[in-house]
């Protein structure tokens, strides 16, 4: 196996007028450099230099090794530079997946903290429900997901870290017929379109149980969409009721686009989680993003 130090020593001798000058450029003594070249020749079993008095002249093989060595050292230097940049979060690629609740909830805050500080990281965000994103995570196309983990818990190869949960709430357009009702009649709610983005199994069970408790059939949504902006625009122009994470709906309420209702909704919580493959090495950029998601509650409190 070729020692890269021998290559560097060979190039130094080949590019300087004397062995002494080459040794000084390498911060070595002349005898040490001469011994290194001799050892390299012994390992190769061939001469790299013809010795003519105090001068060393490259053999034909020596010239070939120098040409190859120059390319090798250049590639190693490029690799070292790339590794240093990678370690410093200056370059690299990260691809993640988020569900609709995370996309408009925690993700914007994370991006505001990450992107300006690391402008040379190529970050790709894929949005969708867990069931559509999970195959890409399992095949390695995504570094990690921040999404509802209910359908992922049976995968032994996945590591799941739960984030801060959020309660569900209902929101209406200002001026909605039910906007003044603290506790609306069940039939009044049923007469309005019910829209949202929840697809996790526990929400389906909740809808079925809610319907049975009222002596009716399952409560089925009128419209399910991954994009909350579409849901909100529909609610603004109709009597539709939007169901979603309280934190997210309150953000729309601050813009005066919706009104979050004080209706008691004894349903399951919105439970985001960070989902990744076990024992998968993460680049510094991906690890930094993971840290921001995991610590989002802490820095959100400090900013608030």
CATH topology of domain 168-260: D-Maltodextrin-Binding Protein; domain 2 (3.40.190)
152 versus 76: the higher-pLDDT residue is 152
Mean pLDDT across 195-209:
85
Q: CA–CA distance from 108 to each of 111, 255, 273, 299 (Å)?
A: 5, 16, 16, 13
Is the distance from CB of 294 to CB of 164 less than 8 angstroms? no
Angle between helices 4-15 and 30-44 (to 10 degrees): 120
pLDDT at 255: 94
Q: pLDDT tens across 165-199, in order?
A: 999 999 999 999 998 888 888 788 888 999 998 88
89 exposed, middle or buried (CB, 10 Å; 0-12, 13-18, 19+)? Answer: middle
pLDDT at 302: 45
Local confidence band at 297 (pLDDT 50, 70, 90 cut-offs): low
Return the minimum-mean-pLDDT range out of 80-89, 105-114, 214-223: 80-89
pLDDT at 76: 83
Return the minimum-mean-pLDDT range out of 37-46, 204-213, 259-268, 287-296: 204-213
Residues of the chain with pLDDT > 90, as a percent, come to 44
Residue among 301, 248, 276, 273 nearest 163 (CA) = 273
| Annotated domain spans of the chain | 4-87, 92-165+271-303, 168-260
* Averaged pLDDT score across all residues of the chain: 86
Torsion of CA 178, 179, 183, 185, to 10 degrees: 0
How many CB atoms lie under 10 A from the CB of residue 277? 17
pLDDT at 120: 84
pLDDT at 82: 63
Q: Is the pLDDT of residue 300 over 60?
A: no
116 exposed, middle or buried (CB, 10 Å; 0-12, 13-18, 19+)? Answer: exposed
pLDDT at 92: 76
> What's the CATH code, domain 4-87?
1.10.10.10
Helix (H, G, I), strand (E, B) or coil at 277: strand
263 versus 92: the higher-pLDDT residue is 263
Q: Is the pLDDT of residue 303 over 50?
A: no
Q: Is the pLDDT of residue 210 over 60?
A: yes
Local confidence band at 304 (pLDDT 50, 70, 90 cut-offs): very low
pLDDT at 253: 95
One fold for 4-87 and 168-260: no
Q: pLDDT tens across 34-47, in order?
A: 899 999 999 889 99
pLDDT at 158: 95
Q: pLDDT tens across 74-96, in order?
A: 888 767 756 765 666 666 788 99
pLDDT at 187: 80
> What's the CATH code, domain 92-165+271-303?
3.40.190.10
Q: Is the pLDDT of residue 57 over 60?
A: yes
Provide DSSP, 204-226.
HHHHHHHHHHTTSS----SEE-S
Mean pLDDT across 59-80:
85
* Alpha helices, H only, the chain: 4-15, 19-25, 30-44, 60-87, 100-104, 107-114, 130-138, 186-190, 201-213, 228-236, 246-254, 284-294, 296-303
Mean pLDDT across 136-153:
91
Among 90-104, 184-198, 237-251, 289-303, name the most confident range.
237-251
Q: CA–CA distance from 250 to each of 212, 243, 258, 273 (Å)?
A: 30, 12, 8, 21
Local confidence band at 99 (pLDDT 50, 70, 90 cut-offs): very high
Mean pLDDT across 123-146:
91
């Amino acid at each position: 196996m070729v020692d890269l130090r021998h290559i560097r020593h060979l190039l130094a001798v080949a590019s300087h007028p004397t062995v002494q000058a080459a040794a000084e450029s390498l911060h070595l003594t002349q005898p040490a450099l001469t011994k290194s070249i001799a050892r390299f020749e012994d390992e190769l079993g061939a001469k790299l230099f013809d010795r003519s008095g105090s001068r060393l002249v490259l053999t034909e093989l020596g010239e070939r090794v120098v040409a190859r060595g120059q390319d090798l050292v250049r590639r190693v230097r490029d690799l070292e530079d790339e590794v240093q940049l990678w370690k410093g979060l200056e370059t690299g690629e990260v691809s993640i997946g988020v569900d609709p609740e995370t996309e408009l909830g925690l993700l914007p805050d994370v991006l505001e903290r990450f992107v300006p500080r690391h402008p040379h990281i190529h970050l790709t965000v894929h949005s969708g429900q867990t069931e559509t994103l999970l195959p890409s995570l399992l095949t390695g196309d995504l570094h990690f997901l921040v999404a509802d983990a209910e359908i992922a818990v049976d995968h032994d190869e996945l590591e799941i870290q739960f984030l801060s949960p959020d309660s569900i709430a209902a929101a209406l357009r200002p001026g909605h017929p039910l906007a003044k009702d603290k506790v609306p009649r069940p039939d009044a709610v049923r007469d309005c379109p019910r829209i949202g983005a929840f697809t996790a199994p526990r929400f389906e069970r909740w809808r079925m149980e809610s319907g049975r408790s009222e002596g009716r059939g399952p409560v089925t949504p009128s419209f399910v969409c991954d994009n909350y902006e579409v849901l909100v625009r529909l609610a603004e122009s109709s009597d539709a009721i939007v169901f979603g994470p309280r934190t997210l709906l309150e953000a729309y309420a601050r813009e005066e686009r919706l009104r979050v209702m004080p209706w008691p909704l004894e349903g399951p919580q919105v439970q985001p989680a960070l989902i990744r493959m076990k024992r998968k090495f993460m680049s510094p950029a991906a690890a930094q993003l993971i840290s921001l998601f995991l610590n989002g509650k802490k820095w959100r409190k400090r900013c608030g």
